[in-house]
Every structure is written in structure tokens, then in C-alpha cells.
Amino acid sequence: MPVCVKRKMGEMSKAKIKKCFGVGAIIVMSGLVTACAKQPSSGLNSAALTYQQRHPIIVDTSPTTLDLPAGNEKTHLTAGMKSAIKGFADDYHRSGAKGLQVLVPSGSSNEVYAGHIANHARGLLEKRGVSKNHISVRSYQAQSTEDPGHIRLSFVAVKARVDSECGVWPTDLSSNFNNQNYQNFGCATQSNLAAIVADPNDLITPRGNGEINAERTGAIFDDFQDNTPPIVTPIAVSDAF
């Protein structure tokens, strides 16, 4: 188009004029199409939140508790209470906590009986490997003198959690035309991951490499050099199949 402008209109043939105006029309139309097309600066759905951003996993310290019911007549631990205390002690060891509290009700109707059960619980914790120096027995004021109080075992450790409330549907999914994740998307997955992770510190930073088993490494290299196939242990198949 600029080449055509430099010449006089009288010196141009009709074919050249038609050609120039045709090129000009194409340029104008392409400019209009470009002006109408609005593209996001950072790709599609640039404003949409991912489920990790909407429902982040928070790693912080929080208490882990176990409430033991203590009636007005019981002075010993039941089989179910013993099993719960053993599992609580195992969780304490895995958490890496440095102290465990045994809270006993004071001023309740079962104050004397709760004291006996708390002593049995402390002895079982020590048998489970919890150091007696790390166990502290404290009392708390019961809300009522007529009702029995509970014995609470507690320790503070690093835990993973999600603050979001799952099951929230503020909008109708049938009217979502923005191609974005809905409010509840990924909430259950994030909550389950936070609940089942063995060590919440793994969500912050990866662990270092473990020690190398030199004996096993040597055996693998020897088998490789000797072209020895790996030993596969046969598995017995049930007759039912």
C-alpha cells in the first residue's frame, strides 16, 4: 500500500488501482478482526484458582487429644481403653512430641475414681515406651460437681489440616460458563491428604537421602555383571481360583 501512495493516480493503470484497493481492503479487514478478538494476557482462565490455592493444606502445631470416660465406680482400665491408650502412645512416638499431659478432673463426682484410672493410664504409657519424665499429670476444674468428668490425654505436635469447609455449593454448576473450578472442587482430596500423611513435615520440605546399603548394592552389581536374572519368590495361588 505505501508503494501505491507514492505514485500519482493518473499514472496508474486501472488494474493496479484495483490491486492496491484490494490489498488495502484486506489490511483494513484484518485490523478490524484483530481489534475484535480479545485474548487474555496470560492464557486461558488466568484468573481461575486451582484447588491447591482455594483449599491449601496448612501445616502448624495443634493438640492431639484422647478422652477416657471415667464413671463413678470404675477404678481400672477396660480392654477398649487400654487399646486406645496404646494407639495414642504410638501416635505420640511418631509425632516427635516432647511432652504428654494427663488431665484429671477436680471437683467432679468421680474425682477419686478418675485419679485411680489416670494412674493406670500413666503406667500403661510408660510400658509403651513414653518416658516418665515426659508425662505430666495435671488437674482441671470440672464444670459440675454432680456429673463425672473425663480423663484427657494430650500432646502438641505438627499436624496438617485444611481450613476450608467441604460440601459448600454457593452456585449452580449448570450456570458455570467460565470453565473454572467450582468452590467445592478438590476440598475432599486436600482434606484426606492432610489427614493420612504420615509426617506433615514432608509437605514442607522433602527428606534427605538415606544411607546407602553397600552390601546390597554390591550384590546387585555382581548379578548384573554375571547376567544373573533376579530371584522371584513364587506365590501360592488359592484353589478357589
* Rounded CA separation 148/112 (Å): 11
101 pLDDT band (50/70/90 cuts)?
very high
Write out pLDDT tens, residues 161-191. 999 889 988 888 888 787 788 889 999 999 9
10 CB-side CA count, 13 A: 0
Supply 172's cell numbers: 449452580
Q: 86 or 237: whose pLDDT is higher? A: 86
Write out pLDDT tens, residues 10-41. 444 555 545 444 544 444 444 444 444 444 44
Strand order in the sheet with 135-141: 57-69, 150-162, 100-106, 135-141
Give the per-residue pLDDT at 227. Answer: 83
Kindly state the average pLDDT of the residues 77-97. 92
Give the per-residue pLDDT at 56. Answer: 93
pTM: 0.57
* Rounded CA separation 182/169 (Å): 8
